[in-house]
Each structure stands twice: as C-alpha cells, then as structure tokens.
Amino acid sequence: MPHLPSTADSGQADRLREAMTTSSSRAAGSRRRRWKWRSGRCPGIEFTPPGTPLEVAYNADDSVITKRDASDAHLSSVSAPWLQARMIAQAGIGPGMRVLELGSGGFNAALLAEVTARRQAW
C-alpha cells in the first residue's frame, strides 16, 4: 500500500514537490510546459520506502535507494527526478501519446501517465 505524508506534513510536501518541479523542469529544458509533479497529482513519496523523509523523496537531484542487500549494497532505486524529466523531454513525449514503460512500475510510469494526460501508462 502506498504511503503518504501525514496531514501535518502535507504543506511541507507541497512546498518540496513544487521546488522539485521547478528544478526538474529547468533540468529538462522545459520552458513551455510545467511537469505536473505537484498538487498531489504525482506524489513521489508513494514510490519510496516507508519512512523516507520528505526532503529525500522530493529532492530533484538525487536518486532514492529503494532496496539494499544484507551488506547494505544498493540494489534498486527511483531515478533522480531531474533525470526522469530530461528523458521524458528528450523523447518528445506529450499529451495524447501512448507510452510503454518497461521495468519501472513506479514513479516514472506515473510521470508518463501525467505528461501524456492519460490515466495510466502501459
């Protein structure tokens, strides 16, 4: 089940998500349209491990480690939002397009669904 910030943290989450949107939009070179990663449309916290601080979940510059092995080696992560934004922009993905996302099953698929204005990504 996805985890969301508590009601007390929702204002902080909104501010951090807005800062991430601004930073990632610049990284993507997107001046014509804003990435819709705000207002609860695509809350990145849902795709991070439970207990991930909001500052980590909404940091545009860093990946979030989602899985580690017994020796604490990193096995899996959510790519940094700036990188996801840049890849989506460079691919020219926009409203109405159909996109097949393989391997993500998480934040990038949600971003693609938002950017294409579809309810889901395949």
pLDDT value of residue 122: 54
Residue type, 81: P
**Domain boundaries along the sequence of the chain:** 7-89
What pTM, to 2 d.p., does this model score?
0.70
Helix (H, G, I), strand (E, B) or coil at 89: helix
The stretch 13-40 carries a mean pLDDT of: 64
Task: Count the neighbouring beta carbons within 10 Å of the beta carbon of residue 45.
Answer: 22
Mean pLDDT, the chain, integer: 76
pLDDT tens, residue by residue, 38-97: 334 666 778 888 888 888 888 888 888 989 999 999 999 888 888 888 888 888 888 888
